[in-house]
Amino acid sequence: MSSPLSFVHPTSDSPWGTYLSQVDRVVPYLGNLARWAETLKRPKRTLIVDVPIELDNGTVAHYEGYRVQHNLSRGPGKGGVRYHPDVTLEEVMALSAWMTVKTAAVNLPFGGAKGGIRVDPKLLSIKELERMTRRYTSEIGLIIGPQKDIPAPDVNTNGQIMAWMMDTYSMNTGSTATGVVTGKPLHLGGSAGRIKATGRGVFVTGREAARRIGLDLNGARVAVQGFGNVGGSAAELFAQAGGKIVAAQDHTGTIYNANGFDLGDLIPHVTNTGGVAGFTGADVLKSEEFWDVDCDILIPAALEGQITEDRARRIKARLVLEGANGPTVPKADDMLFERNILVVPDVICNAGGVTVSYFEWVQDFSSFFWSEDEINVRLDKIMVDALKKIWDTADRHKITLRTATFAVACERILIAREERGLYP
């Protein structure tokens, strides 16, 4: 029998602990493949690096960086890089594992990976941020590459940071390697539609789920936690479908308007000020009151571990769309199920981003680029087809969408593992 990992100490609600319990729930549905299930509980490769940079004032600062490749059975690693003061090895491991499941759930030829640096990027100048990004890229350069592991943006990273990563890797290898990262600026081989892709995937899966439970999007009240790239883009699409965005929360504050916000005013406000706080067309709520808001659809699109058991007891929504990775802890999952609140899990709901990252990677290899309309049509089809297979699995076994997504994905991962065999 294999012993547990010695280098992390997860609790039941911590990111890795949450992931392990999700794997345990799916094992009964794996049949003969269950003999390989331990593969899912161990990352293939974890790299911890020191990232020293010279600050603008001449002092040298050191930051802790990570890159974890959870599983590469189905293809090269794929996963974002986040810059956040609370990043830990355990969190990056869990995020890389969810990427393994996510890429398999939408049947992309990737494995799962993730990276991060323990830093508050707001405290760095633009030049310090560039130096840190380049040094980090050089340190993890041993294990990334267009056919090995392809980073992308995540929390507090963006197209500019991807451009620096691509340039650093290219300089170190002596060739322009556009395919080493995705989420790049268009001029460097980025893809049309990539920035809003994750939010679009949340909308597409939400639209299909709403249809299933008989919820009319026209007039539906939507509450969004995290009003950045994912939450803001999803909010725009739901508003275009006739929904009312009645509540929004981010790191700056919580706002509410029972009649719905005017997104034509709110989105520029968030862009200009960095958050929802101070928006005049809304009432201010205490942060914990966000979970008591009357709404039909709740979109957690911030960080993991936000929906606790206590909050799950209070949520009024009929539909929860996980725009963030790992926003619901296992006991909260059970509570929402008991209360007949449908959860579309992160590993399918927010897979729009990695799907369009796949399109970008393919376009970089072929040096042939598609229009945004073509991207969106392909994204829509992949998401709808993947969700249909997951829903069929859920109906057949009478299990939640999360367990069904894991069942579909883990079967694909472990079939690949079994067919490849163990080397040597």
Could you give the residue numbers annotated as active site? Answer: 114
Grouping H, G, I as helix, E, B as strand and the rest as coil, residue 47 is: strand
Contact 63, 132 (CB under 8 A): yes
What CA–CA distance (Å, rounded) separates 343 from 364? 35
Q: What are the structure tokens assigned to 136, written together?
A: 């980090």
What CA–CA distance (Å, rounded) separates 214 from 180? 43
Instruction: Match 């002092």 to its residue by tokens.
Output: 59
What CA–CA distance (Å, rounded) separates 175 from 145? 12
3-state helix vs strand vs coil in the chain, percent to 5: 50, 20, 35
What CA–CA distance (Å, rounded) separates 96 from 79? 7
What CA–CA distance (Å, rounded) separates 182 from 383? 19
Instruction: Match 């079967």 to its residue by tokens.
Output: 411
Q: For 375, phi and psi rounded to 5 degrees?
A: -60, -50
Of 196, 304, 220, 302, which is closest to residue 254 (Cα–Cα)? 302
The dihedral built from the CA positions of residue 134, 135, 139 and 142, taken in this order, carries a sign that is positive
Cβ neighbours, 10 Å, residue 418: 15
Query: ∠ CA(259), CA(261), CA(263), 5° rounding?
Result: 145
Q: How far is CA 321 from CA 16, 26, 33, in A?
A: 21, 21, 30
Of 40, 166, 36, 12, which is closest to residue 98 (Cα–Cα)? 40
Contact 30, 411 (CB under 8 A): yes
Of 148, 192, 196, 144, which is closest to residue 165 (Cα–Cα)? 144
Q: Could you give the maximum distance between any two Cα atoms of the chain, in Å?
A: 64
DSSP 232-247: HHHHHHHHHTT-EEEE
